[in-house]
Amino acid sequence: QVQPVESGGGLVQPGGSLRLSCAASGRTNVNEGMGWFRQAPGQGREFVAATKWTGDVILYADSVKGRFRISRDNAKNTVYLQMNGLKPEDTGVYYCAQARSRIGSTTSEYDYWGQGTQVTVSA
């Protein structure tokens, strides 16, 4: 079963930082890239960031530009999401997803999903 695995969530105060990790399933040369999405209680899944394994395409949601940074370690098949300047509205379950053919900002472009990791930003 192909399923990426997230880690690194937790509780942090406003203005704090967290780094999420996602271990991809399978070799990087059989999938195009990885994305991060988040889902707040009672809301739909929202795009956060994505990267191709080649690194030549990186996407961010406007709401996180300048605060979040996505990076990758191809040797470890792992993608990271460094989150700085966290706000209460960043709270939610963060999901990692693998795309076989292309990356983008919609959930339909991703083929495999992790189970999610909780991020809570609160004083």
pLDDT tens figures, 62-115: 999 999 999 999 999 999 999 999 999 999 999 999 999 999 999 999 999 999
Rounded-to-integer distance, Cα 101 and Cα 27, Å: 14
Least confident segment among 2-11, 25-34, 53-62: 25-34
The pLDDT value given to residue 76: 92
Helical (H) or strand (E) element with 115: none
In the prediction, which pLDDT does 28 show?
A: 62
pLDDT at 25: 82
